Amino acid sequence: MSSRLKLLLLILVLGAPMPVAWAMLHWQIGLPDKHVARGELSPALPPLTQWPIEWQESDDWWLVWAASDICEERCQAEADKWWRMHRALGRNAERVYRLRLGGDQDALPGERQLSWLTERPEWVADAQVWLVDPQGNIVTRYAPYVDAKDVHKDLEHLLKRNPVR
């Protein structure tokens, strides 16, 4: 009797995790409430090569943000926020370019600034941010005046998942 009980217990211990995991997934019980991407995935947006700017490809990631045409104090604060976030990437900072679209102020160190060749597209809002892969595809889009911590976490995750070639 004791050997049968031991065998039954062993089968129960080894076989229980799969039904429990299925039940947790099916009824969404006990799953961590964790965000994968803090930005909005936007596969419908055209790649940066099709935007009305003079963009040149590179082998690095891009942090692109749209400044207003008349860049005031708030615009400079946004530029400073992205400069600080870029510095917070540490050794990965050299793998990311910052690109400011529009605005009438001078670019900060390490930042590239481009003007719109034509009218600004309708999907672009002031202070909106995009993460762009090395091929120019939009990976994530963020709402205007997004918290830099959210972008930083997503960018670190992308850089970790896409090691240097």
Specify the pLDDT at position 136.
Answer: 87
Architecture of domain 40-161: 3-Layer(aba) Sandwich (3.40)
Average pLDDT of the segment spanning 95-112: 85
pLDDT band at 77 (very low <50, low <70, confident <90, very high): confident
Give me the chain's average pLDDT, please.
86
Instruction: Over range 99-104, report the average pLDDT.
Output: 85
Q: How does residue 111 score in pLDDT terms, banded at 50, 70 and 90?
A: confident
Separation between Cα atoms, residue 110 and residue 16, nearest integer Å: 55
Contact 138, 45 (CB under 8 A): yes
pLDDT at residue 148 in the model: 92
Number of neighbouring beta carbons within 10 Å of residue 131? 21
Q: Where exactly are the structural domains of the chain? A: 1-31, 40-161
pTM for the predicted model, two decimal places: 0.74
Helices (H), the chain: 2-15, 17-27, 73-88, 148-161
Q: Is 93 exposed, middle or buried (0-12, 13-18, 19+ CB in 10 A)?
A: middle
pLDDT classification of 87: cutoffs 50, 70, 90: very high
Q: Whole-angstrom Cα distance, residue 133 to residue 162?
A: 10
pLDDT above 80 for 162:
yes
CB 60 within 8 A of CB 88: no
SS3 146: coil
